[in-house]
């Protein structure tokens, strides 16, 4: 039905539906955490849809970079975003790689992002 690409090392666990239902009924703390996760995910989907419908490619790119850096989340934002190609960013925001390159250069000239050899960040490396 779909596919996913991991941007960093990860582990995937498949849980049988019956086992998940039992865990949700038996473990209330786990159930609360799972429901909170589902609600947050749905809110993110709605925000992604609104972003796609009403914002320019440049604003969508800025938003995805901030999301990747975990800007506005608990703790401090990541200063270096995961290694990700301009082609992948273009797919994520619905534009071409050349537009992403143009916007990234603009962000760099405005001082929003900084490049060093082997370092892509939204802050200084």
- Helix axis angle for 97-109 and 57-68, nearest 10°, is 70
User: Does pLDDT of 114 surpass 90?
Assistant: no
Three-state DSSP state, 115: strand
**Given this model, what pLDDT does residue 104 score?**
93
Each residue of 47-84: pLDDT tens digit?
Answer: 989 988 999 999 999 998 888 887 777 776 666 666 78
Q: Would you kindly state where each structural domain of the chain is located, as residue ranges?
A: 14-54, 56-125
| Residue 97 phi, psi dihedral angles, 5° rounding | -60, -35
Question: In the predicted model, is pLDDT for residue 34 greater than 70?
Answer: yes
pTM above 0.75, yes or no: no
Please tell me the distance from the alpha carbon of residue 47 to that of residue 60, in angstroms, as a whole number: 11
Q: Are 100 and 93 in contact (CB under 8 A)?
A: yes
Q: Is the pLDDT of residue 125 over 60?
A: no
Higher per-residue confidence, 77 vs 114: 114
Whole-Å CA distances, 72 to 20, 62, 76: 31, 14, 8
CATH match of 56-125 with 1.10.3720.10: no
Quick one: pLDDT band at residue 5, thresholds 50, 70, 90? confident
Q: Work out the average pLDDT over 3-28.
A: 90
- Other beta carbons within 10 angstroms of residue 90's beta carbon come to 19
């Amino acid at each position: 039905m779909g596919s996913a690409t991991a941007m960093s090392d990860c582990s995937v666990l498949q849980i049988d539906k019956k086992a998940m239902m039992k865990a949700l009924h038996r473990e209330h703390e786990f159930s609360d955490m799972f429901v909170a996760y589902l609600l947050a995910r749905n809110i993110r989907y709605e925000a992604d849809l609104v972003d796609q419908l009403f914002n320019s490619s440049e604003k969508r790119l800025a938003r995805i970079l901030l999301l990747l850096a975990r800007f506005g989340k608990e703790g401090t934002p990541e200063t270096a975003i995961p290694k990700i190609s301009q082609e992948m960013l273009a797919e994520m925001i619905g534009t071409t790689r050349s537009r992403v390159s143009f916007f990234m250069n603009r962000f760099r000239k405005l001082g929003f992002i900084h490049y060093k050899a082997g370092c892509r960040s939204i802050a200084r490396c």
